[in-house]
């Protein structure tokens, strides 16, 4: 059952998206490493850790995915993991990282609109408005950038993959749980990435990493794929896709913060203004709606005639829920 006020869900979503935002600086270390081979290594290590965790965490009874589960898991791995990485890599050749980041920053709006519809409920106007504020703040912090039409379309493909990463997991989480959904999707993404890597890089698909590259791959595998995946999927189950999606606006804000911490750049006024907008949107979006208090209806009939404190007849009491 989702709850818009789950402190654990909100903390998990914030930490997960902040971790994803740190990928900007970490990815720079892997600039010369084969992209698809590196992603395949990342998901292989993460899947092994996650399956080990699944043996000790969660229900003791082993839960086997159904045919429908396998279909959703395969679609999740193909879109939210493998295709997302393919689109990101291809887009960088035709457009700027700022444009890609700005397009992906619209994830909160997409989840605020599509998430409730998949759950057969209307999107909450307040959450949609908050998502628009978060997206504006993320775009401001990230910069609008520029590029070609092809690059923009590829960035939109990455956006679709990011949305699928959350929405396809929602029906899987109640039965399989965050650990198994993360483990199965990571494992299924490995052969997909290897296949693309063989086409793109051929024999140069894999090579021994340098010390810095090894540290970056370790960070991607353990901190991001294991840690952030688990936190994000746990938050989805607690907050719902629409409210959890608001925290995706933290990705570009975290990217800016990471570069500042590492001494690679200094924050600009636009960065600070964007961060403030993201924070405001998240606060508004996750705040529970005000409940209307109903005034007690005036007593009529036998209860009024008998006066206060006199018991109601049995038939009247049962009709009023007593």
Q: What is the DSSP string of 135-200?
A: HHHHHHHH----B-HHHHHHHHHHHHHHHHHHHTTTTTHHHHHHHHHHHHHHHHHHHHHHHHHHHH
> How far apart are the C-alpha atoms of 134 and 298, rounded to whole Å?
46
For residue 224, give the nearest of 165, 143, 266 by alpha carbon.
Answer: 165
Nearest to 77 by CA among 236, 196, 192, 208: 192
Specify the pLDDT at position 313. 40
The pLDDT assigned to 317 comes to: 34
Comparing CA positions, the residue from 206, 190, 237 lying closest to residue 82 is 190
Could you give the angle at which helices 149-167 and 67-76 cross, rounded to 10 degrees? 150
Q: What angle do CA 61, 62, 64 make, to 5 degrees?
A: 135
Question: CA-CA distance, 63 to 162, in Å (whole number)?
Answer: 26
Res 166: pLDDT: 92
Report the pLDDT value the prediction gives residue 249, as an integer from 0 to 100.
Answer: 78
How confident is the model at residue 315, as a pLDDT?
Answer: 34
pLDDT reported for residue 294:
54
Low-confidence ranges of the chain (pLDDT < 50): 1, 303-322
User: What's this model's pTM, rounded to 2 decimal places?
Assistant: 0.77
- What is the reported pLDDT for 146? 60
The tokens for 58 are: 């969660």
Q: In this predicted structure, what is the pLDDT of residue 88?
A: 83
């Amino acid at each position: 059952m989702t709850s818009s006020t789950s402190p654990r869900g909100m903390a998990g979503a914030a930490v997960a998206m902040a971790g994803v935002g740190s990928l900007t600086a970490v990815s720079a270390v892997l600039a010369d490493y084969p992209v698809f081979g590196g992603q395949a290594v990342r998901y292989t290590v993460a899947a092994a850790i996650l399956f080990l965790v699944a043996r000790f965490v969660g229900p003791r009874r082993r839960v086997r995915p159904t045919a429908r589960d396998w279909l959703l898991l395969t679609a999740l791995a193909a879109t939210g993991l493998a295709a997302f990485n393919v689109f990101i890599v291809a887009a960088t050749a035709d457009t700027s990282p700022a444009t890609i980041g700005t397009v992906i920053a619209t994830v909160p709006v997409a989840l605020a609109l599509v998430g409730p519809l998949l759950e057969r409920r209307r999107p909450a106007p307040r959450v949609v408005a908050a998502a628009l504020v978060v997206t504006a703040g993320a775009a401001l912090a990230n910069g609008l950038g520029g590029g070609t039409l092809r690059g923009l379309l590829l960035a939109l493909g990455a956006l679709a993959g990011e949305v699928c990463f959350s929405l396809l997991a929602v029906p899987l989480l109640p039965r399989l749980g965050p650990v198994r959904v993360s483990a199965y999707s990571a494992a299924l993404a490995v052969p997909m990435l290897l296949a693309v890597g063989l086409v793109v890089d051929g024999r140069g698909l894999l090579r021994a990493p340098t010390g810095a590259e090894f540290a970056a791959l370790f960070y991607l595998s353990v901190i991001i794929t294991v840690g952030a995946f688990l936190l994000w999927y746990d938050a989805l189950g607690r907050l719902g896709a629409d409210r959890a999606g608001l925290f995706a606006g933290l990705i570009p804000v975290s990217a800016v913060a990471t570069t500042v911490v590492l001494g690679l750049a200094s924050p600009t006024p636009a960065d600070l203004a964007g961060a403030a907008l993201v924070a405001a949107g998240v606060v508004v979006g996750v705040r529970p709606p005000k409940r209307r208090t109903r005034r007690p209806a005036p007593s009529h009939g036998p209860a009024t005639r008998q006066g206060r404190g006199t018991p109601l007849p049995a038939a009247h009491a049962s009709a009023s829920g007593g």
